[in-house]
Amino acid sequence: MEDDLNEMFQTNVVGNIRLFNLFLPLIKNGKTKKVVTISSGMTDEKLAVQYEIWEGALYSITKSATNMVTVKFQAEFKKEGIIFMGVCPGNVDTGHHDNRKYAVREAYYRILISAICTVTPDNLQKLMAMSGKFVAYAPHFRGMATTDEAACDVLSVIHKATMEANGGKLVSHLGNKQWL
């Protein structure tokens, strides 16, 4: 578990810090002064507590740390007019699964299988429990978005982003706090 946490931390947190620092001179000299991380609604503390979503802890912890990195960069570079923000793209079919259309519950299972590396009988029970929590949270959810749909949603949020509304904040692909 510690190795998994270290690997995720290096990818999700340290990797973003390095990217921010690498591209910051270009951002400062560019016309569009926006830096966006891809984050997750799994970092929403209220969601986790209200729906008892304890699963995916390592992922959520590292993405939460990434959100704080974004906040700290925002605090440092706000006066220079640079917006640092996070966007959760929602649930996206990234090609890790075949292109068959699934029923709602099966879509949740696909989402969650990606988050649980090894599917064991115990993990499958956890997966089913977590999918029930997602159904309770967003009964309207009908499945994963295509990568094209998600990209359009995220770009729309980025284009509309303002310092006042989005600086240092995490929003969903809908521009609000509705994650699914």
* Three state DSSP letters for the chain: CHHHHHHHHHHHHHHHHHHHHHHHHHHHHCCCCEEEEECCHHHCHHHHHHCCCCCCHHHHHHHHHHHHHHHHHHHHHHHHCCEEEEEECCCECCCCCCCCCCCHHHHHHHHHHHHCCCCCHHHHHHHHHHHHHHHHHCCCCCCCECHHHHHHHHHHHHHHCCHHHHCCCEEECCCCCCCC
Task: Return phi, psi of residue 116, to 5°.
Answer: -110, 110
Tell me which of 14-18, 137-141, 170-174 is least confident.
137-141
The catalytic site residues sit at 59, 63
When pLDDT is cut at 50, 70 and 90, the band that residue 123 belongs to is low
- Answer for the pair 82, 28: CB distance below 8 angstroms, yes or no: yes
Structure confidence at residue 44 (pLDDT)? 96
- Give the mean model confidence (pLDDT) for residues 164-179: 96
**Topology given in CATH for the domain delimited by 2-172:** Rossmann fold (3.40.50)
Give the model's pLDDT for residue 103: 42
Mean pLDDT over 37-66 rounds to: 94
Mean pLDDT of the chain: 86
